[in-house]
Amino acid sequence: MKKLLFIICTLSVIIYAKPTMSQKTYNSLMEAQKYIEQEETKKAKILLNQLLDKKNGYSSSYAYQYLATIALQENDYQKAKKYYEKIVSFNSLTKEYINKIKLSLSKIYLSLEEFNQSILVSTDLLKDSKLDKKNIYETLIYSYYYTQHFKESILYSKKYNNLSKEKKENIYQVLYSSYIELKNYSLAISTLNIMIKKWHNQKNYWLQLASLYQEKKQYKKALSIIELSYKKNVLNPKKHTKFFVNLLFQNELYSKVSNQLEDAIKNGYIKENKKIFKQLISSYLNAKEFDKAIYKITNSKFSKNIKYKKILANLYYNKHNYKSTIKTLTSTNNKKLKLDGELQILLALSYYELNNTNKTHFHLKKAFHSKKKKRALQIAKALKINITS
């Protein structure tokens, strides 16, 4: 877990303690402070531990504060926690001062992932009108979030944002994540819209927003977000082509899909594999760009699949190129191509257009003995051909 900045009572506070403790104790504390400033912490610890031997809660509180400061500098949060807890237990300092110690302690609990303790201390500190509420709210935001109390985390996120003049990115990140955890996608979208305006160079925010619009089936909005990110040079088309293409498909902008894929392949953004080939053919067919589909199928290494032979044959037929339809389905290269009832009918109709009655009859009869029996009979009747005898 990311360590938070701790609110630590400053060393200068010790000056105000002089009238309420012995001169010798005060001098020892000031000497310890000097050692800390000079980074001679071993000497400082010796002096401070000597003060603790006096069993004096008041002077010990200040000694523990210095020891806590050293512990935090050494990233020993367990020791810092122990020292601050000692100060609180002595209860020898003013209430205002003790609450400042508790504020630091609440953040140490948070850093040590003792979230319930952090919540307990922070909630109690809300009663102190002199403390900066934003510091308390921030601790509660994280503590509630990590204990999966997302509604409470959202509550304090809003309280924090209402007090803060400047938007804080990490607070909005937690707010957004909380809405996602609660599946409140509408408010998650609202939050992300704020985030991309404030931190517009964060690529993930744009992608997350587009994905959320997808989740809510608001495909036009998802597409507009990606297009806007391209215009602002936030997202790189080279890295996000596939995501953009999927959005274009969802918006049924098939011509744009094919153009986008063609450009991406040409510029080396993506490699043409079976999946990309399939997307290209699908986009050509849906955009009624049949010539492009024919060219692609007849010139691609990925078109050997029977599925594409069937597509090609139908495309030729629709363009009245009956000889090519027949050649596609009867070529010696297509030994593995099983002519189902549908393709038998397609062949029959192609031969009919070429005035080859025998072949028409032959293939309609083949279709008659398939699952397309009813369709074959209808066509034979229309063409006045007997296929039942």
pLDDT one-digit tens code per residue, 61-86: 999 999 999 999 899 999 999 999 99
Determine what percent of the chain is predicted with pLDDT higher than 70: 93
Here the tokens at position 361 are 């009859």
Alpha helices in 93-168 (DSSP H): 95-111, 115-125, 133-146, 150-163
Q: Do the beta carbons of residue 303 and residue 296 sit within 8 Å?
A: yes
Identity of residue 227: E
Pick the residue with more confidence: 329 or 188?
188
Q: How confident is the model at residue 59 (pLDDT cuts 50, 70, 90)?
A: confident
> What is the arithmetic mean of pLDDT over 356-378?
90
Q: Do the beta carbons of residue 64 and residue 85 sit within 8 Å?
A: no
CA distance 135 to 303: 63
Here the tokens at position 344 are 């038998």
Q: Do the beta carbons of residue 109 and residue 123 sit within 8 Å?
A: no
Helix axes 357-368, 373-383, angle to 10 degrees: 150
Q: How confident is the model at residue 187 (pLDDT cuts 50, 70, 90)?
A: very high
CA distance 389 to 54: 118
Q: Do the beta carbons of residue 194 and residue 167 sit within 8 Å?
A: yes
What per-residue confidence (pLDDT) applies to 325? 93
What per-residue confidence (pLDDT) applies to 386? 87
> What is the arithmetic mean of pLDDT over 177-192?
97
CA distance 72 to 78: 9
Fold of 305-389: 1.25.40
CA distance 329 to 312: 9
Q: Do the beta carbons of residue 313 and residue 343 sit within 8 Å?
A: yes
What per-residue confidence (pLDDT) applies to 153? 98
Here the tokens at position 24 are 């010798």
User: Above 60 in pLDDT, residue 18?
Assistant: no
To which residue do tokens 């953040």 refer?
Answer: 107
Among left, alpha and beta (phi > 0; psi -120 to 50; other), residue 294 is: alpha
Mean pLDDT of the chain: 89
Q: How confident is the model at residue 228 (pLDDT cuts 50, 70, 90)?
A: very high
pLDDT tens per residue, range 143-152 = 999 999 999 9
Fold of 1-131: 1.25.40
CA distance 195 to 36: 42
What per-residue confidence (pLDDT) applies to 9? 41
**Verdict on whether the full-model pTM lies above 0.85:** no
What per-residue confidence (pLDDT) applies to 51? 86
In this structure, the number of other CB atoms found within 10 A of the CB of residue 49 comes to: 12
CA distance 308 to 278: 9
Distances from the Cα of 197 to the Cα of 164, 168, 202, 226, angstroms:
17, 13, 10, 14
What per-residue confidence (pLDDT) applies to 23? 86
**Intervals of CATH 1.25.40 along the chain:** 1-131, 305-389
Q: What angle do CA 156, 161, 162 make, to 5 degrees?
A: 95
User: Above 90 in pLDDT, residue 55?
Assistant: no
